[in-house]
Chains A and B, each alone.
Chain A
Amino acid sequence: MERAEIEKKVKEVVSRILGVDESIITPESRFVEDLGAESVQSLELVAAFEEAFDIEMEEQAALEVKTVGKAVDFISKYLK
């Protein structure tokens, strides 16, 4: 899967789970500070990424990812 395609899907998931407009989500957006993610929502994000990309991520490492761009990098590793 191309990086652009991954990024598009990540944004869709983030928008759906956090209830924010896709247009304000950039690779630099921080989940907590910029997009308002609560700790419970970060769990949902991990679960939703796993579902969307059909992957299984290492939960602690996944929860350390702080921005949308880093999430794209992190997910890309599982898709190689």
Chain B
Amino acid sequence: MKLLIFENDQWINLTPLSYTRPVFELRCGMYTLLERIMAAVKTRDITLFVRDYLVNLAKKNYPFFVNSFKGDDDVLIVDGRYLVEEDFRTDKEAVYMCEDEVVYAFVKKENAVKIENRSICEIVDFVKTLPPIKIDAKMMKYPWNLVHYNAEMLKKDFSKSKKIGISGNFSPHAVIHGSDSDVYIAEGAEVHPYVVIDTNSGPVYIDSKAKIFPFSRIEGPCYIGKETQIMPGASIREGNTIGPVCRVGGEVEESIFQGYSNKYHDGFIGHAYIGEFVNLGALTTNSDLKNDYSPVSVYVNGKVVCSGDLKVGSFIGDHTKTSIGTLFNTGTSVGVMCNITAGGVLPKFFPSFVWYVNNKFMKGFGLEMMLQTARAAMERRKRILTKEEEEVIRKVYEITADLRKSYISRSLKMKS
């Protein structure tokens, strides 16, 4: 059987996180959405469908077919925003729908040939003609959905992983408060003295070569990614997924770090999703609860959407940097490659690539200099900005230009 995973035009609702990656690369629990789909379907004959400007990047990153499908076998077609929790049904040809959206479809070989070399819109239109079956499915429509389900998925993922025990270096002066069977410390990971791992509310999984420095407390459920460092004295509260090669200190609660990002110092981040190569200056803090306890609204691509959730933090695009003392309002969305400096109550939306200085949106030093900074930041973590990644950033710069210009122009017209 073949597997076809797609993203459609709904990717825009997962911005700023999805500007620089396909939606199925977003994390929830211990895994990305793609890893979950692939784990549920035992095939390596995979085709990905992504938006045009991500094609080269996807081709470079995956050994799969991209945006070109050959219909010579049965195929399972899955929306990349689907948070898979159970096995796919492939006993009969059908389309599985949730609230009028295609979640997935199983197409027999006889019909698969009809969608060969078609666009993803045509493929989705075709599967909509199959017998529909309604299901309850968790579709990650907005960034806060990923955060909302993170703690629950962490518990389920730990249990499914069957990994228990200490393979790494666990100091005799560190303690596990709660059940030992809810901890996994991978080979090469280090837990230093005076660390407390609290499993009373959920399991803690510390992946290989991660380092947990002294006096920090990690509360489950939690996943600490490969080569990530938890800085001395950190308070890693419940429900966090911290991807690979991050540096995280201060207080973090119910948040997701995609990977390669720094929040080195004190400051609170809660119910947030932080992209790659983000640097949060010391004391950067986000609010995740309004003082009137009402549902939090978030700007999605410049438009306000009510999340329906009471606790929503910040969503921060790749390569964005904040100054010391930056205070983000509840439900703030910050684009890709922004530079934000502290200044009173900040706006709730920052278009990609803006610099926010002295309470004004500005163009900053320009794209070329931002790319130079990105290269320097990536080199520090032994990554290079590939030609394909640079292409994506340049495209995002282009598609976000109008929104950025309107914010800058409005900002300049306001009195200092």
Residue numbers of A with Cβ under 8 A of B are 16, 40, 43-44, 46-48, 50-51, 58-60, 63
Contact = CB atoms under 8 A, between A and B. Distances in A.
A68 B161 CA distance: 65
A69 to B, nearest CB: 23
Which 8 A-B residue pairings sit nearest by Cβ, starting from the closest? A59-B366, A51-B412, A60-B366, A47-B362, A59-B363, A43-B362, A40-B357, A43-B357
Given A16-B416, A47-B412, 5 more contacts: A40-B341, A40-B358, A43-B363, A44-B357, A60-B366
7 contacts: A16-B416, A40-B358, A44-B357, A44-B362, A48-B412, A59-B364, A63-B366
Nearest to A16: B416
A13 to B, nearest CB: 11
B360 A59 contact: no
A46 B362 contact: yes
B360 A47 contact: yes
A61 B238 CA distance: 48
A58 B363 CA distance: 10
B303 interface: no
A47 to B, nearest CB: 5
A31 B251 CA distance: 41
Nearest to B408: A47
B412 A50 contact: yes
B412 A43 contact: no
Contact of B368 (A40, A43, A44, A60): A60
B358 A44 contact: yes
B413 interface: yes
Nearest to B355: A43
Nearest to B358: A44
A63 B341 CA distance: 19
A47 B360 CA distance: 9
Contacts of B358: 40, 44
Contacts of B360: 44, 47
Contacts, number: 36
A51 B341 CA distance: 21
A60 B369 contact: yes
A77 B364 CA distance: 21
Contacts of B363: 43, 46-47, 59
Nearest to B363: A59
A60 B412 contact: no
B413 A43 contact: no
B366 to A, nearest CB: 4
Contacts of A46: 362-363
Contacts of B293: none
A63 B365 contact: yes
B415 to A, nearest CB: 11
A46 B366 CA distance: 12
Contacts of B365: 43, 59-60, 63
A58 B369 CA distance: 13
A48 B416 CA distance: 10
A58 B355 CA distance: 15
Contacts of B362: 43-44, 46-47
A73 B32 CA distance: 53
| Most chain A CB within a 10 A radius of its CB, from B341, B358, B413 | B358
A67 B49 CA distance: 52
Interface string B144-184: 00000000000000000000000000000000000000000
Nearest to A42: B365
A9 to B, nearest CB: 15
A27 B379 CA distance: 41
A55 to B, nearest CB: 11
A80 to B, nearest CB: 22
A16 B358 CA distance: 14
Contacts of A16: 416
Contacts of B416: 16
A47 B414 CA distance: 12
A61 to B, nearest CB: 9
Interface string B188-213: 00000000000000000000000000
| Most chain B CB within a 10 A radius of its CB, from A16, A43, A46 | A43
